[in-house]
Structure 1
């Protein structure tokens, strides 16, 4: 299902429109809570300090991440809540999202990035220059590993 060109929007939390915030929370919940069968508190208090990258195709939020400044999740900046809509997978939107996230972080001067990656996505993140540097750990019952680029 190729649904067209992605319109990328980057906004600080306090500039998000209510419908944008709703779409973000709905997508994150759909994937991280329901699809991955992982009840956890997604609204972790970090969102107000982050930049939010939204990828839209028409009125559908197809991809999302948050760029986390240094000192919030890790000593370095981070990219988190990386997610693509299940209905729009296999279109390359995940790769576009990750590259755009890295580009935005770079424009902000965040040259070093640390992520807590779901272990099954290790190869995906390695394609973007991330290297694992720590032991595998469980977070909300899912294997994760710290990676840095």
Structure 2
């Protein structure tokens, strides 16, 4: 079955799409990673949502946040690949699409992520530089990482 990539504002997501997004985020971030945190943090309505679907099945997802909403830079967050879809390089493609979207929408802004520390090399390979010492976020070691905006 063919993959379909979707880029949508919050109001453009259908009920079923939103349900599948929240379900995947909960499945991975809360259940698989055994982490209690507030997923519904109030940022989704201002985000752009990028999702990869195969039929009705959500394979991968992330949200893109504008500069100034969470920090001065634009941001990528809630980056997740469904357990059943891992090993297909979807994570790399997902982040590349997020980078391209943020650079197109907010070309003057760098991109910041709150990366789980064990994924530092993955994000380094995509152009992000580590910008903090490790810290705990919701009981999981994280790093601040930044992709500098390209020179004008």
| TM-score class, shorter | over 0.9
Q: Which residue in 1 is equivalent to 2:111?
A: 113
**1:109 CA displacement:** 2.5
State the aligned residue count: 146
Structure 1 Cα separation of the partners of residues 143 and 5 of structure 2: 28
Does residue 47 (structure 1) correspond to residue 55 (structure 2)? The answer is: no
Which of 74, 77, 92 lines up with 1:95 in the alignment?
92
**1:30 CA displacement:** 0.3
**1:61 CA displacement:** 0.4
Q: Which residue in 1 is equivalent to 2:30?
A: 33
Which of 138, 141, 149 lines up with 1:140 in the alignment?
138
Structure 1 Cα separation of the partners of residues 101 and 25 of structure 2: 20
**1:6 CA displacement:** 2.4
1:76-131 deviations in Å (ceiling 9; x for gaps): 10000000000010011111101111111122134410111000000110111000
Structure 2 Cα separation of the partners of residues 62 and 138 of structure 1: 27
Structure 2 Cα separation of the partners of residues 5 and 79 of structure 1: 25
Structure 2 Cα separation of the partners of residues 138 and 88 of structure 1: 27
Comparing 114-123 and 4-13, the one that deviates more: 4-13
What CA RMSD, in Å, does the superposition of the two structures yield over aligned residues? 1.0
* Structure 1: gaps of 5 or more residues: none
Asked if the contact 2:48–2:65 (Cα under 8 Å) also holds between the matched residues in 1, the reply is: yes
1:15-60 deviations in Å (ceiling 9; x for gaps): 1100010000000000000000001110000000100001101211
Does residue 68 (structure 1) correspond to residue 51 (structure 2)? The answer is: no
Structure 2 Cα separation of the partners of residues 100 and 5 of structure 1: 18
Asked if the contact 2:66–2:106 (Cα under 8 Å) also holds between the matched residues in 1, the reply is: no
